[in-house]
Amino acid sequence: MNLNYKINYYKKNWPIFARLIPAPIRKIIWYIDEQIYYFQLKKEGSIYSWTKFKNDPRIPNNLRIMIEDYIKFVNSNPDNVSKPWIQLGLRHVEQLIYGGYDNFKQTLAFKYFTVRADRNQDILQFLIDNNDKNVVEAARIKSENIPPPTCFSSENGIKYNFTTLLLWKYALKIGLDKYLDRLSEPLEGNPLSILIGDKNITQDLINSTIEFSSIIEYPYFSKIKTIAEIGGGGGRDAFVFLKLAPQIRYVMIDIPPALYIQQQYLSSQFPNKKIFRYRHFDSFQEVEKEFNESDLIFLMSNQIEKLPPKTIDGCIAIDCLHEMSLMQINWYFEQVNRITKRFFYFKCWKDNKGHGEEDAGHLGENKYPISPEWKKIYSRQCRVQPKYFEALYDLGSLD
């Protein structure tokens, strides 16, 4: 048994071993593992590292095609691809291999937006401060009586449940029950869910509902027919939009393995929708008819430039722009302005220091390249995530 195999074996079975290890030792192990993780990220900054997946028999064919096309794109456009995307994407493919698609909501979800129990204290503090004291105490008691998710130690499992319960109560407090009553987290992907009544509730489901409520503040939302999402993670926002506004056509724009997960997950959850699956095309004319007739469309990030002007009514980008270089950010804003008719919503870190590319390292809330022709509807601190801001702009085309 070689060293890499042993490490992977212990990582895969960490929930079992964690219960046998004293808490102080667990924290030391987590710290060491995190330092190794960041060291490997720096080491794996080249797209060449992705080539090992091309002949890996564990890679599904649909994902292999995406990876091969992504490698070709990065090699031909090295300045227009974020190093963090290359690095993190590599790790995410490895997690998908070892954890499996069937468990992506317990592995990759933490790389997208689900709150880890041992981090993000600002979010938990926000929820404590913005719920009534009796609600907080009731949630604390209830969290201790709900079985903790198996991927956590007992202590962190209770903390995760506590955060999720407070998030649920906060969402009800701000009037989102009218949406949450229509939603339940699908079991596909093995979610970290809590059963409330007859519904499976997760942090992803609630956060996406909060984001949905922010986006529909766009005053002409009833006119929206097509939405494009840049960097959609595990497809959590798309799921909520397609449940709450099923008349909308939805375009996912991402890189592997996220694009693969989105395609698998959303195609499964909405089997009656006409699906435009990812494929390479040289010009939009090759796929125009199928694109226009499809309800759910999956594109690689570079394919956005092949879309005709004003193809999309609304565009959203959540928790992804701050991972890009300034060159990439400018390029995406240009593309959004070109393909989008009505609105652009984005959600990012307030202060990007230490996050993303070096030349974007100090990109703050007021530094994004907003077109002077756009009309600001709002730019404000996010609910729940106090280190984030959200912004909604009217792009002015009401045709």
Q: Which amino acid is at 77?
A: N
Instruction: Kindly report, residue by residue over 32-85, the tens digit of the pLDDT.
Output: 765 665 565 555 557 878 888 988 899 999 999 999 999 999 888 876 677 777
Q: For 210-394, CATH number?
A: 3.40.50.150
Check residues 307 and 147 and name the one with the higher pLDDT. 307
Pairing status of strand 296-300 against strand 275-276? parallel
Q: In the chain, what are the domain boundaries?
A: 3-112, 121-182, 210-394
Model confidence at 5: pLDDT above 50: no
Q: Give residue-wise pLDDT tens across range 290-345.
A: 999 999 999 999 999 999 999 999 999 999 998 888 888 999 999 999 999 999 99
β-strands 194-196, 226-230: how paired? unpaired
Tokens of 19: 């219960």
The dihedral sign for the CA sequence 184, 187, 191, 193: positive
Q: Is the pLDDT of residue 356 over 80?
A: no
What element of type H or E holds 394? strand 388-394
Q: Are the C-beta atoms of residues 360 and 331 closer than 8 Å to each other?
A: no
| φ/ψ (deg, to 5) at 17 | -70, -35
Q: What is the mean pLDDT of the chain?
A: 87
Rounded Cα–Cα distance for residues 54 and 51 (Å) = 5
Nearest in space to 277 (alpha carbons), one of 296, 253, 249: 296
CB 231 within 8 A of CB 356: no
pLDDT in tens, 172-193: 999 999 999 999 999 999 999 9
Angle at alpha carbon of residue 238, lines to 241 and 50, rounded to 5°? 175
pTM comes to 0.86
Structure token pair of residue 138: 């009731």
Question: In the numeric block, which tokens belong to residue 214?
Answer: 């922010």
Question: Rounded CA gap, 320 and 39, in Å?
Answer: 22
Residue 223: count of CB within 10 angstroms of its CB: 13
Structural Rg of the chain based on CA atoms: 21
- In this prediction, residue 126 carries a pLDDT of 95
Q: How far apart are CA 51 and CA 64, in angstroms?
A: 10
User: In sequence order, which ranges of 44-146 are alpha helices (DSSP H)?
Assistant: 61-76, 83-99, 109-112, 121-129, 133-145
Tell me the sheet residues that pair with 316: 229, 345
Token pair of 227 as six digits: 């939405």
Which three-class secondary structure string do you get for 23-36? HHHHHHHHHHHHHH
Phi-psi category of residue 335: left, alpha or beta, with phi > 0 → left and psi -120 to 50 → alpha: alpha
Instruction: Give 83-127 pLDDT, tens digit per residue.
Output: 777 888 888 998 898 889 999 998 887 766 666 655 678 899 999
Give the C-alpha separation, 336 to 325, whole Å: 16
- The kind and range of the H/E element at 312 are strand 312-318
Residue that is written with structure tokens 């004291």 in the block: 133
- Report how far residue 210's alpha carbon sits from residue 347's, in angstroms, rounded to the nearest whole number: 12
The arithmetic mean of pLDDT across residues 248-263, rounded, is: 97
* CA gap 225, 18 in Å, rounded: 48
Backbone angles phi, psi at 184, to 5 degrees: -150, 135
Question: What letter would DSSP give residue 44?
Answer: T
Residue 375 near residue 338 (C-beta atoms within 8 A): no
